[in-house]
Amino acid sequence: MHSASLEGTVVAITGAGRGIGLGIARHLALRGARLVLGDLDEAAAQAAASLVRETGAHALGVALDVRLADDNAALVDAAVRAWGRLDVIVCNAGIMQVRPFLELEATDWERMLSVNVTGVFLSMQAAARRMLDQAPLAQGRPQGKIVAIASIAGRAGAGPIAGVMPHYRASKAAVISLVQSAAATFAPRLTVNAICPGVVDTAMWEGIDRDLTALQGSARGEAWRQRVAGVPMGRAQQPEDVAGVAAFLASAASDYMTGQSINVDGGLVMS
């Protein structure tokens, strides 16, 4: 078996109903993973699971509010009931908002961090509790793997977006820090890593473009065009670009990696 195979690996994905989460789900399914797909929109989760099953893979869709510890525990329990274990969780669920720094309300800040940080923490916690109580898939391998979706917005700089999404940037920087804390806590039994995407062609970025262009007084699509024009790889990022790295982090090929946050952004941030 190739080291990057996921045949029989049980994977839970949060925020799997659309965008990056759905892209990851479809990609991992093609590599043989068994999937539990959680989303706040239960209909979207069920539709995603149905789409995956059409490829011949195994998938369940469940309702999930990542802000609730009980919902995260139920996501893990669904995997265990179906397949006896949980090998990987992809903590992908997140939200975005464009609002100038001085116009942010406390409720904006609290909602952003409750989903993007508390949600990731509770998903990690629920998964880790189960993973630490199970044998590894194979001798010498970790007992489980945690993958968080952060963002290059959580890195230094960020240019003109810094002043209009400070709470989003703070939340993603917190995810990067949380990944490091979890990695140090659970090594060598679990690996914990993050992916930092860039400009991904999803509905979320459609919303960003709509709100940014409204603030700037420019035509719809202009914020997106300008951001994509600055990508060294010469195109917008697709969910599949993130999914390939997620598959690597979920596989045996990355068993010696932990505590890392990997930029997958077409070269926007180089380090």
Q: Which of 121, 168, 186, 224 is catalytic?
A: 168
Domain region containing 219: 199-236
* Length in residues, the chain: 271
CA angle 59, 21, 12 (to 5 degrees): 45
CATH number at residue 127: 3.40.50.720
Q: Is residue 267 part of a domain?
A: no
Residue 270 lies in a domain: no
Give residue 25's identity as a one-letter amino acid code: A
* DSSP one-letter code for 200: B
**Measuring CA to CA, which residue among 79, 175, 94 is closest to residue 131?**
79
> Which tokens go with 241?
């670009």
Q: Identify whether residues 54 and 185 lie together within a single domain.
A: yes
Most confident of 124-133, 156-165, 194-203: 124-133
pLDDT surpassing 90 at residue 162: no
256 is catalytic: no
Q: Give pLDDT, residue 158.
A: 61
- 3 versus 125: which is more confidently predicted? 125
pLDDT tens, residue by residue, 226-270: 889 989 999 999 999 999 999 999 999 999 999 999 999 999 988
Task: Look at residue 227 in the predicted model and tell me its pLDDT.
Answer: 86
User: Is 74 in the same domain as 177?
Assistant: yes
Categorise residue 266: left if φ over 0, alpha if ψ from -120 to 50, beta otherwise.
Answer: left
- H/E element, 34: strand 34-39
Q: Does residue 189 form part of some domain?
A: yes
Average pLDDT over residues 17-40: 97
Is 271 domain-assigned? no
Q: In terms of domains, do 95 and 214 share one?
A: no
Q: CB–CB of 62/75 below 8 Å?
A: yes
- In this prediction, residues 30-35 reach a mean pLDDT of 97
